[in-house]
Amino acid sequence: MNAPRTAWLFLTPALLVLGVFFLLPVIGALGLSLTDYDLYALADIHNLRFVALHNYGALLQRPLFWSALGHTVYFVAVGVPLSMVTSLGAALLLNSPLARCKPFFRTALFAPVVTTVVAVAVIWRYLFNTRYGIANFVLGHLGLHPIDWLGDPHWAMPAIILFAVWKNFGYNMIIFLAGLQAIPPELYEAARIDGASAWRQLRHITLPLLAPTLLMVSILTVAGYFQLFAEPYVMTEGGPLQSTTSVLYLMYDEGFQWWNLGEASAVAFLLFVIMFAVTAVMLRLARRSASFEGDAA
């Protein structure tokens, strides 16, 4: 048996780092969000006042907060399903017994995940260029009109979503692939003998058995997509007409461009509460539908 003292010695460095640089600031953020910490307080702490929930009340009445939340929800609501379907499709292709050269395809499809968001966002900014970009060149060949991808408030967010799906789908693809490989091949064997089509095999074997993975992946992806920041920062600077200003972009802007640290902390906390609520509801719904299916069976 080891002495408990040893265990604590081993834990100390990590707990110290997490405590000082994460736990303490998180508690601090709650406190900060109840004050009017701004440029004046930054210069002289005596200008700091306690304002209770005023920041939250003011935010909830600010159109910019609601539009930033709207853009973020748009990004999550369209981006997450699109990215998951792409990941699942790619994983199904890679898992097919007919496919060859799987390691090559897997690596190639995964490559965008490890790239630096800023660098690839810069690339995509040029691919989306109205005059010389490849995106419009391809559209032209399909007989479609060019799109002002990053300059048109209606198209900027779809462009960012396309970029995000390209960048991220490989990550979930790997997780789905592992999930698919865990499904016993005998099940498909039996289904084939019963004459089930590929589509019915997908509906009645693959998807139900993959359900726990799908749930976990969708919750993690939703949480990740809520943290939209670098993409609009590099590709559109939150524009045009603030159509790609996300909640985190607003937090960064308020906090580090205007030094309204109190209000920015309130933004951060609201985002946290919203993310928590959304993922909790997802978990709840998934559990309920799972228990319904259990009852029906």
Partner 1 sequence: MSPRLARALIHGLLIGGTLVALFPLLWMLSVSFMPPGAASALPPPLWPAHATLGNYRLLFLRAGMGRYLLNSLLVASAITLLSLACNLMAGYAFAKLRFAGRERLFRALLGALVIPAQVAMLPLFLLLKTIGLVDSYAGVIMPAMASVFGIFLVRQYARGIPDELLEAARLDGAGEWRIFSQIVLPLLKPVMVTLAIFSFLAAWNDFMWPLIVLTGQGHYTLPLGLASLAREHAQDTELMMAGSVITVLPVLLLFLAMQRYYLEGLLLGSVKG
- Footprint (CB under 8 A) of partner 1, residues 223-242: 223, 226-227, 229-230, 233-234, 237
Instruction: List the one residue from 58, 77, 108, 207 that touches partner 1 (CB under 8 A).
Output: 108
CB 296, min distance to partner 1, A: 26
CB 233, min distance to partner 1, A: 7
Instruction: List the one residue from 66, 126, 258, 292 that touches partner 1 (CB under 8 A).
Output: 126
Query: Applying CB under 8 A, which part among 51-59, 77-85, 200-208, 261-269 lies near partner 1?
Result: 261-269
Segment 138 to 197, residues that bind partner 1, using CB under 8 A: 166, 170-171, 174-175, 178
Kindly state whether residue 17 participates in binding partner 1, applying the rule CB under 8 A: yes
Instruction: List the one residue from 11, 77, 85, 241 that touches partner 1 (CB under 8 A).
Output: 11
**Of 167, 117, 100, 159, nearest in space to 135 by CA:** 159
Structure tokens at 42: 């930054």
Kindly state whether residue 118 participates in binding partner 1, applying the rule CB under 8 A: yes
CB 177, min distance to partner 1, A: 9
Structure tokens at 7: 């265990």
Query: Applying CB under 8 A, which part among 22-30, 49-57, 73-81, 200-208 lies near partner 1?
Result: 22-30
For partner 1, the closer CB: 8 or 66: 8
Kindly state whether residue 82 participates in binding partner 1, applying the rule CB under 8 A: no
What's the per-residue H, E or C state across the chain?
Answer: CCCHHHHHHHHHHHHHHHHHHHHHHHHHHHHHCCECCCHHHHHCHHHCCECCCHHHHHHHCCHHHHHHHHHHHHHHHHHHHHHHHHHHHHHHHHHCCCCCCHHHHHHHHHHHHHCCHHHHHHHHHHHCCCCCCHHHHHHHHCCCCCCCCCCCHHHHHHHHHHHHHHHHHHHHHHHHHHHHHCCCHHHHHHHHHCCCCHHHHHHHHHHHHHHHHHHHHHHHHHHHHCCCCHHHHHHCCCCCCCCCCCHHHHHHHHHHHCCCHHHHHHHHHHHHHHHHHHHHHHHHHHHHHHHHHHHHC
For partner 1, the closer CB: 122 or 207: 122
In contact, 34 and 52? CB cutoff 8 Å: yes
- Number of residues in contact with partner 1 under rule CB under 8 A: 91
Verify cis geometry, omega within 30 degrees of 0, for the bond prior to 240.
Answer: yes
For partner 1, the closer CB: 29 or 202: 29
Instruction: List the one residue from 18, 85, 144, 277 that touches partner 1 (CB under 8 A).
Output: 18
Kindly state whether residue 256 participates in binding partner 1, applying the rule CB under 8 A: yes
Query: Applying CB under 8 A, which part among 27-35, 50-58, 68-76, 152-160 lies near partner 1?
Result: 27-35
CB 141, min distance to partner 1, A: 9
In contact, 38 and 262? CB cutoff 8 Å: yes
Kindly state whether residue 112 participates in binding partner 1, applying the rule CB under 8 A: yes
CB 285, min distance to partner 1, A: 18
Q: How far apart are CA 166 and CA 161, in angstroms?
A: 9
Segment 43 to 62, residues that bind partner 1, using CB under 8 A: none
Instruction: List the one residue from 6, 61, 145, 193 that touches partner 1 (CB under 8 A).
Output: 6
